[in-house]
Amino acid sequence: MNRRNRNLSPYLFLLLPLAWYAIFLVYPMLTSLWISFTDWDGLSPTSNFVGLANYVRFVAGDSVARRALINNVLWTIGTILIPTGIGLVLAVILNSRHLIGRNLIRAMFYMPAVVPMVAIGIIWAWMYDPNFGAINEFLRSIGLAHWARGWLSDYSTAFPATFAASVWSGIGFPMVLYLAGLQSIPQDLYEAAAIDGCSRLQAFWYVTFPSLRETHIIVGTLAVIQSFKVFDMVYTMTWGGPGQITQVLGTWMYFNGFQYYRAGYGAAIAWIIALISMVVAIPYIRIMSRD
């Protein structure tokens, strides 16, 4: 009996965390999966099972959903190219030991990454205000008043303006990851490159960039997952407008589930976001585990 108790003791320690995990994560997930197969409105005590109708509607019958998916893809491509690229360049610059005040500069660039996205969205919405926003006031002050406009109410600028705020807040995190990756590269490689006559640009391209392979995978995977989960920035700045031009999957899920009383369809969109995230995350986990 004592031996049996000793064998069970590790599992008893896991019992409470597993119960917490099952109650607050597994059960809500399975419930939302079931709801996605129904026409529940979020309020009625009953619902009807509709099978894959909500998913079919997303694929074939909802033009706003297609727009939201395209916006998420564009957001993802932009995130991988712009803030990630800027973060890499900043990391290379700030990795120099001879840079004065580099720790302070690192903190300044990383600071937007720890500010809540809702606060960032509100601040940038004020900056974009057509009447007294800082951006339009600056344009007027330098003689470019004809460029001033309602950035978030103009169909041609609403989505790029929203994404610009995301770029400002998204540079710091990849910068920190790349800084960690740069500090793990052996200095012998750079010394060998210098002996071979490589310039700084050649050393970056042939030594630094390939040596950051694992960091590229981490940064790229997190960028894709976060891009498909984007919600608060769009919600606080444009509410998906004007029209539906800036809708993303996260906001369209919210509007259907909580504004239009189509909880079943909103749950289906949530699971589509989760499936896309898993398609990206599973290969990442396999690659990192193999390495």
For residue range 77-96, list pLDDT tens digits in order: 999 999 999 999 999 999 88
Where b means 16+ CB within 10 Å and e means fewer, 36-71 reads bbbbbebeeeebeebeebbbebbeeebeebebbbeb
Return d(Cα 243, Cα 175) in angstroms, integer.
35
Supply the pLDDT for residue 2: 55
Assess whether pLDDT exceeds 80 at residue 136. Answer: yes
Supply the pLDDT for residue 150: 92
For the segment 273-285, the average pLDDT, to the nearest whole number, is 86
pLDDT band at 137, cuts 50/70/90?
very high
- Give the tens place of pLDDT for each residue, 147-181: 999 999 999 999 999 999 999 999 999 999 999 99
Assess whether pLDDT exceeds 90 at residue 285. Answer: no
Assess whether pLDDT exceeds 90 at residue 13. Answer: no
pLDDT band at 5, cuts 50/70/90?
low
Give ∠ CA 158-163-167 in degrees, rounded to 5: 150
For the segment 212-216, the average pLDDT, to the nearest whole number, is 91
Supply the pLDDT for residue 16: 85
Return d(Cα 159, Cα 157) in angstroms, integer.
6
pLDDT band at 291, cuts 50/70/90?
low
Cα distances from 96 to residues 183, 187, 217, in angstroms, run 10, 12, 24
How much is the mean pLDDT over the chain? 90
Supply the pLDDT for residue 8: 62
Domains and CATH numbers, the chain: 47-290 (1.10.3720.10)
